[in-house]
Chains A and B, each alone.
Chain A
């Protein structure tokens, strides 16, 4: 998946596991950017009696680089605390939850939002608390407990000072991917008959269907994110581009007490991060995944080789014999002569001026896993889920919208569709532009903030 359970250590710590990151110029207010950081993979909606929630002992952060050094200039921090109203019942709620102050809602979470930024002109970081005791909505349990969930969740969209908006709570998993097939030796069901170990070709099965995640969605003015508060208007101006990533951190020390509780102490240590989708998932090898999660993006140059010659690129002609003859021929040449500068640009540095006409999202030569967004590009009136390779510069890899078909875009890019951008003599295989796992998100998306659909209900949901 995009980054769900993608590394050995974080797969054992779901509440701190970044799963997806989205960032796009808001289609309902183009003066603002919406950023959504998801955590907690594959939440089974029927998760009682202790339903999923954010970690009180986790520091969640969304980080923005606006000067190209891959070091955060603006950070939004989110801290949660759980309130237990009645410790003498096993119930999450003792009756229907009809409002965010409903007395029957027994176990609730409040959170704070703090902005840390170098915007005082002296280079010093300043902390501004934007909100405290904000209410995270309850999880979606069922028709008796959460009878009008959309209304309840809408109440939890909080307005913050400075034209900002925030929502933190459970959502439908908007990322779609055929998990069952892809991790069965790289199989894509629509092309199952062409696989090395063939099976009949069928449609894809969305492996995340019917599962939920926990989302932190933030809508802020563009000027909150740019250098010196500038308004980005020129697509070709480097100052219009920001790099975004989300993290989760735990304190260095944790002591298990004799009373069943635990205590943490010490500085915050990053245990998970996410910029572009699928990087730690399929680009970084198993032995380096945990280290990658703990590292800051500005130190990503060590992983350059994985971008230049990704393992998946080498697997495709093997798994699909005869389907990718041009890619197979390319791979017979020395690795040093065929480095994938296109992938380095798309995923590592941003695309420089002159590669795609009228477009750039270059943040400089430093390779770093950041989701890069050129904020001067207006939202598309007719979004194409294939983003930039589908001719829609408002979509991935220019930021990422909730519906963008990330699996297909990255499969196609790795299979060679984007290689001619830097190697004009290369002709992509016909199959490369058709690659897909055949999935879509059946639940759909909201047309307004926070854009990800209301969560699946515990009482009635389906994974088929």
Chain B
């Protein structure tokens, strides 16, 4: 991943889940953008304890707690990348 993309990912926190981790097609990005626009609000993902494999996904004034080891593992991997980014 290019440094610029990584910085963008870090600045956005965990909102753009998955976008920063792997290269994806333009078509898929557009589908994601459309889906996000349907939601009408930013998405925040919050992992309190990776060992529990739980992620809180927040949007608007709602939230849902999901146990998803694969998703949490990917977020942990991204977080490790973000930790290594030098703040600008």
Contact = CB atoms under 8 A, between A and B. Distances in A.
A267 interface: yes
Nearest to A254: B44
Contacts of B42: 255, 263, 265
A266 B11 contact: no
Nearest to A257: B42
A296 B45 CA distance: 25
B62 A253 contact: no
B46 A253 contact: yes
Secondary structure of the A contact surface, majority rule = strand
Contacts of B44: 253, 255, 265-266
A251 interface: yes
B43, B60, B62, B63 — which one has the most chain A CB atoms within 10 A of its CB? B63
Interface string A297-312: 0000000000000000
Interface residues of A, number: 10
A251 B61 CA distance: 7
B15 A266 contact: no
Nearest to B62: A267
Contacts of B59: 265-266
Given A265-B58, A267-B62, A252 B46 contact: yes
A252 B13 contact: no
Nearest to B13: A255
Contacts of A184: none
A263 B15 CA distance: 12
B60 A265 contact: yes
Nearest to A79: B61
Interface in A25-53: none
Interface in A245-285: 251-253, 255, 258, 263, 265-268
B19 to A, nearest CB: 16
B73 interface: no
A266 B13 contact: no
Given A253-B46, A255-B42, A267 B13 contact: no
Nearest to B46: A253
A268 B58 CA distance: 11
A163 to B, nearest CB: 30
B56 interface: yes
Contacts of A267: 58, 61-63
Nearest to A249: B61
B41 interface: yes
A268 B62 CA distance: 8
A267 B62 CA distance: 5
B36 to A, nearest CB: 13
Contact of A252 (B15, B43, B58): B58
B61 A253 contact: no
A9 B11 CA distance: 25
Interface in B1-50: 11, 13, 15, 41-44, 46
Contacts of B60: 265
Given A265-B41, A265-B44, A251 B11 contact: no
Contacts of A258: 11
A59 to B, nearest CB: 8
Nearest to B58: A266
B60 to A, nearest CB: 7
B58 A253 contact: yes
B66 to A, nearest CB: 14
B12 to A, nearest CB: 8
A251 B15 CA distance: 16
A265 B11 contact: no
Interface of B: 11, 13, 15, 41-44, 46, 56, 58-63
18 contacts: A251-B58, A251-B61, A252-B46, A252-B63, A253-B46, A255-B13, A258-B11, A265-B42, A265-B59, A266-B44, A266-B56, A266-B58, A266-B59, A266-B61, A267-B58, A267-B62, A267-B63, A268-B61
6 shortest A-B CB distances, which residue pairs? A266-B58, A253-B44, A265-B58, A266-B63, A265-B44, A267-B63
